[in-house]
């Protein structure tokens, strides 16, 4: 079982009280990376569906843009299987260029990644190819949608979200 499946279960059960209202007016667009190891090699499309369920719950269904192709057919980012740590950054980036182009085609401002290798690779691809999208962990967006994302957890957020729903700001407003 993956933590993504548990996140989906906990959101459905109301144990993780997420809310996408923060993005109703902002309309920030998000896409999601389907990790190869998790989706294609092990748990398949059901975990990809749970991933989308959680993402839509935290950013708003209308603000989610899926990549094409996706789920079990999604392109590899090029960072897994040890390639991220291989010491071959140019080869890794060239392999990942297809993923970069796939993300850019969505027009999304953020790429959500549930996998650390995907996160590091997709972030690097954006910087290297000047993609101007932000890469964030799934947990970061869950915490933002719960209103509990701390100041030190906002490293990868863009200026549009970095100050949004800061815990001390919320307390001052209440």
Arithmetic mean of pLDDT, 76-89: 83
> Mean pLDDT for the chain?
91
Check residue 172 and give its pLDDT. 47
- Least confident range from 6-20, 51-65, 141-155: namely 141-155
Confidence of residue 168 (pLDDT cuts 50, 70, 90): low
* Cβ pair 47, 4 in contact under 8 A: yes
pLDDT at 174 over 70: no
Q: Report residue 54 as tokens.
A: 């959680």
DSSP 18: -
Is residue 50 within 8 A of residue 7, CB to CB? The reply is yes
Which among 51, 45, 97 is positioned nearest to 73, based on CA atoms?
A: 45
Per-residue confidence (pLDDT) for residue 98, from 0 to 100: 96
- Over residues 23-50, the pLDDT tens digits come to 999 999 999 999 988 888 888 899 999 9
Mean pLDDT of 86-105: 93
CA distance 167 to 63: 24
Q: Is the pLDDT of residue 169 over 80?
A: no
Please say if the pLDDT value at position 171 is more than 50.
no
pLDDT digits (tens, 9 = 90+) for 99-156: 999 999 999 999 999 988 899 999 999 999 999 999 999 999 999 999 999 888 898 8
pLDDT score of 16: 96
Residue 122, CA distances (Å) to 63, 110, 160, 166 in order: 20, 11, 20, 26
Q: Is the pLDDT of residue 165 over 80?
A: no
% of the chain with per-residue pLDDT over 90: 74
End-to-end CA gap in the chain: 39
Could you give the angle at the alpha carbon of 91 between the alpha carbons of 77 and 156, nearest 5°?
A: 45
Residue keyed to tokens 């959680």: 54
Two tokens, residue 84:
């991220």
């Amino acid at each position: 079982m993956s933590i993504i499946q548990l996140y989906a279960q906990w959101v459905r059960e109301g144990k993780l009280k997420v809310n996408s209202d923060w993005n109703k007016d902002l309309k920030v667009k998000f896409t999601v990376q389907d990790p190869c190891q998790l989706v294609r090699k092990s748990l398949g499309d059901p975990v990809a569906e749970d991933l989308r369920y959680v993402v839509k719950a935290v950013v708003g269904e209308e603000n989610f843009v899926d990549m094409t192709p996706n789920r079990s057919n999604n392109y590899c980012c090029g960072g897994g299987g040890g390639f991220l740590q291989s010491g071959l950054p140019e080869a890794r980036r060239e392999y990942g260029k297809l993923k970069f182009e796939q993300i850019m085609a969505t027009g999304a401002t953020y790429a959500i990644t549930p996998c650390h290798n995907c996160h590091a690779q997709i972030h690097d691809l954006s910087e290297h190819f000047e993609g101007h999208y932000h890469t964030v962990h799934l947990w970061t967006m869950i915490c933002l949608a719960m209103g509990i994302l701390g100041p030190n957890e906002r490293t990868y957020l863009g200026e549009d979200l970095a100050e949004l729903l800061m815990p001390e700001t919320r307390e001052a407003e209440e």
